Structures are given as structure tokens and as C-alpha cells.
Chains A and B, each alone.
Chain A
Amino acid sequence: MNITPNEIDTIEEAGILEGRPVKLIRTKGGFWIAISRLSGKTQEEAIAAGSHPAIVKYDLEKRFPKFQPVMMKSAYFSDNAVVEKHSHFLSEDLRKSGHDIYSVQEGSEVNFHITKHSLKVASVGGTMEKNFLVINNINIAKEFSRGMAGAAVEKAVGCSAGLKFNKK
């Protein structure tokens, strides 16, 4: 992956991996990429990417258990955002074509990101209201409906909450 300087919006220190710094780049298109120079490599390379910095952190921690995040200016990366992966509800075909579903909860806001090769292709917003996860807008392609339904139920159960759909 080659990123030119004029595509970069911000760069922040994200943490340490194997004694080397990990940086988080936000592109002007709103894509987040973690870069670092892994041991045995001569130059920095992308080691994780995602549509949300918390998803990048989730991915980094999963793939590199020794990764140590640091506090960041953006407060996105090491804040209390809770990320869960729900990709197991996607069909075999969607999984093979690089699709994933994540939920990102920040306070009472819960956003579901449907991604393809880490790029967001659809999203669904929701909020936690009085022991219910209320899904506000479902405007996604039909092929994602089963996966989205599973993700919403799993997230609600994980929060010990009921599930409601806002028809507005």
C-alpha cells in the first residue's frame, strides 16, 4: 500500500510493538492505517487498517498480542470504545470476499461497520436506550441483512439489553 503525503490528514503515535513505534495515520478520505517497522523488515509498512481507529486498535491487539497502546491526542484510539467483531454471521461468500462486520460502542452510541478489505461499505447506527439497543436506520444491501441481524442480536445480548428497531 503506497500513501502519498498529500493523502495524509494526521499522524499520531499509537503505541509500541516489539520496541518499535506504531503510528496511526488518518487519510483525508477518513481511512485509518497503523504503520510500523516489524522486526526483520527494513522499512515501515501498514500492519492494520480500518474504518474506525478503535477497529484498528482491536485488529492490532488481536494480531499482535504484544502491542502496547499509548494515550493519543485524538482520544479515539485508547478511549473506552468497545469493538466487537461479528463477522461469523456473514455468509461464506461474503467472508471469502473480505467482508467483516464490527460494532463500535462509544458511550450509548453503537455503530455497526460493514467493511470490505477494511474499507467501510455500509453502516448502521444505533443507541442504547433504557436497556434496549435501538437500531435507528437500516439501509443496507440485502446480502448483509442476515449478518446485520446476527450482529445486532449478539451486541444486544452482550449488553444484557433488548433489541428494538426504529421504523422512522
Chain B
Amino acid sequence: MKYIHPQYLTKNESAAAYKKYAETGMGLMFPVRIGGKTHMSDTGIPYHSTIKLFDTSKDKPEHAHEVASRLSMNPPDSKEVHLEPATLKSRDGHVLHVIKLHGPHADVIKEHHGAFSHLGYQEKYQFAPHITVDKPTWDHIVNSGHKTAHDAGIQFMPAELRHGHKVVSSYKPKVAAPAGGDAHKEDKLAASEDLQKGAIRNIGIAAVMGAALATSTPAKTPTHQASQYSSQKMLSAIAHVESSGGRNTKHAAGGGAIHGAEHAYGKFGLMPETIRETIGMHRDLSAKHGKATMLRGKDLHHYMQDNPGLEDVVATKHLKRLEHHFGRKPADIGYSWLQGVSGTYKAKRNNVDTDSHWHAKKVKDAYLKGK
């Protein structure tokens, strides 16, 4: 594990200023527990991973909540979050200890951050998901060599919109999750769907609802379909719809501003932009296949042909991303496979009946028939 001095994480506050901001500022974050502890031993600030800091001179809690309530605020799965200890130097020379977060679930924090680009302070740095920790905790993580948040005993709690010490709104999943295991992951993902539907529209009732959610954890038995969900089966269904299971891989040009004249590739009908994006989002893929992110059209197709197995890896990782955003619902996966993450969110914002979309129906049908 390497520890670098990331210049792009320009958190220039001194410890005192950082503490003051944490006590008076407004931010959306995932509260974090590290080894069961909730607060830093030095400053007493709760451990958290910030999604967005807001400028209270112009941003109101309802502005932040309006955007947050549209997003799938599922806490990252600690098993899917990779760690990189780093240090930051403030203007007065004070060293802040941070744990940078990597991997697809950390990338979702980055995506959520981007959804608030019209709010908050003007950013002259590149946002990177991280947790600020006290030195003993940082040392412990460095010395233990833990690679994932799960190994380091880090747990991400449901997102909260905080104004100083006050929790303005909580984005707690509604489904009670059993501790550990895959079932836990499935329930958390299903919870995000419920959260979308039940998004609190009125900030006035948010605090009341937040308090209610905090004191009660309504148990919901996972549906039969959710417990039976299989990502492998989902990929087979997608391959069946996209290429008759790999038999017809001559795809038409994608069209539009993003895809232009580029054609989808292979049995899963992966669009080149999706391939490039997926490789770029995963450090392991990026380290090995980073050059593919610069390739276009036929050159990218040739690269995929020259690297057998990469198609399956990209499809699996892309599916995982869609599952994280939209839950393990075959129809939603089918829709988002065609329309992308942004397109699906946009459709949902505009109350489009995505379940009735032809691609969603075909994928769902193929999935249910086990094709």
C-alpha cells in the first residue's frame, strides 16, 4: 500500500478551521464507523465520507435535499471500497490524515458529488472520495496493510444531510439488513429503489421523517425475486437480447451525441463509451488496459478482440454499477443497459414508465425465462 501526497486533494483547512467548518457548515455525507468508533479521537468530529459541502451563504438545505432525494443514496459496500492512506498539508503546515477511497462504490460518491455541481463552493480541485481520520487510526490502517474498507473495519452508514451538529435529513434505506454476507448487499441495493420511490419532497417534514427513520427500522422481508436474483443470469439475459447469446454481434451504430458512428461491441452489446468509462473507473482495469480508453471505433473493437475475457470483465463490472444505482431489478437493468446511468435517472425524474420500454421488457422476459 503506498501513501502519497495527493495534490489534487487541496483540503487546505487547518485542524481548527476544519473542526469549525464541521461544527457550523452544511454537508451531505456518509457517516462512517471505524472499528466500531464513530468519532475522531483528536477533534471529536464524527468520522464521515463527504459527498458534498455546501455554501450556507447561498445554499439552503432544501436545495441540497432536492438533489439528494433523487439520487440512490445507498451506503457503499465496504467490501467493494479499496483504501489508500494519504496525507494533506494545510496552509499552516498542519498535516491532515486521510484515507482515500477507490473502486466502483467509491466512484458512486464521486458521481453523486457531481450531481451537486451547481451548489456549494467553487472547486479549484478534483474531488476525491476520502475519510479524514485521526493519526492513531491512520497509523493502524497503514501498519495493518488492509486493502479494503471491510478489512479495516470501516462501515458506511446511511447518508445524512447535516447542518453543523444537526441532522437535517437522513437517507436511510428502508429495508432492514441482516449483518454481513451477500444477502446484506442485496437488501441494501433493494433499499435504494424504495428510497427513490419514497423520496421526501418537503424539507419541512424531512426532519420529522428523519427522526422517525432513525428510531424505527421497518423490517421488510426481501421479495422472492430479490432473493433469487443472479448477476450471472442477468448477463446471460442481456447477451441473449443483445446478440442471441453471441451469435449476432454485428451491431448498428449507436448514434447520438455520445456514441456517434461507433458500434456496440460483442455479445453484450457494450457501447465503446461504456467500455472506456468502465475501464477508466476501475484502477485494476485502468492499470492494465488504460490505453483502450484512448481508442475509438474499430481500433477499440480490435483491442477487445486481442484481449479475450476483457469483454466479460467489463460487462460484469458495468452490471455491478447498474445494480448499485438501480437495484437488482431486471427491467431497470434492461432499461439502463440501453440508456445508461444518466439516461435512466433522467427518465425516472421525468416519470417515464421505464418498465414498459421495449428493451426493459425484452431483458426482463429473457431473465425470467432463464435465457
A residues with a Cβ closer than 8 A to B are: 85, 87-90, 92, 95, 150, 154, 157-158
Closest Cβ of chain A to B122, distance in Å, is 30
Closest Cβ of chain A to B302, distance in Å, is 4
Contact B302 A95 (CB under 8 A): yes
Contact B294 A92 (CB under 8 A): no
Is B37 an interface residue, CB under 8 A from the partner?
Answer: no
B287-307 CB contact bits vs A (8 Å, 1 = yes)?
000010011001110110110
Point out the residues of chain B lying under 8 angstroms from A157, CB to CB.
291, 294
What is the predominant secondary structure among interface residues of chain A facing chain B? helix
Q: Complex formed: what's the CA distance from A85 to B292 in Å? A: 12
Task: Enumerate 6 A-B pairs (CB-CB under 8 Å) in ascending A order.
Answer: A88-B300, A88-B305, A90-B302, A92-B298, A95-B302, A158-B291
B residues with a Cβ closer than 8 A to A are: 291, 294-295, 298-300, 302-303, 305-306
Closest Cβ of chain B to A95, distance in Å, is 7
Q: Which of chain B's residues has its CB closest to A86's CB? A: B291
Closest Cβ of chain A to B370, distance in Å, is 32
Q: Which of chain B's residues has its CB closest to A157's CB? A: B294
Closest Cβ of chain B to A25, distance in Å, is 26
Q: Complex formed: what's the CA distance from A89 to B297 in Å? A: 10
Point out the residues of chain A lying under 8 angstroms from B298, CB to CB.
92
Closest Cβ of chain A to B306, distance in Å, is 6
Question: Contact partner of A85 among B295, B299, B306, CB < 8 A?
Answer: B306
Contact A150 B299 (CB under 8 A): yes
Point out the residues of chain A lying under 8 angstroms from B302, CB to CB.
87-90, 95
Q: Complex formed: what's the CA distance from A146 to B213 in Å? A: 61
Point out the residues of chain A lying under 8 angstroms from B303, CB to CB.
88
Q: Complex formed: what's the CA distance from A87 to B303 in Å? A: 8
Q: Which of chain A's residues has its CB closest to B300's CB? A: A88
Q: Which of chain B's residues has its CB closest to A154's CB? A: B291
Q: Complex formed: what's the CA distance from A88 to B295 in Å? A: 9
Contact B294 A154 (CB under 8 A): yes
Q: Complex formed: what's the CA distance from A157 to B306 in Å? A: 20
Closest Cβ of chain B to A92, distance in Å, is 7
Closest Cβ of chain A to B313, distance in Å, is 14
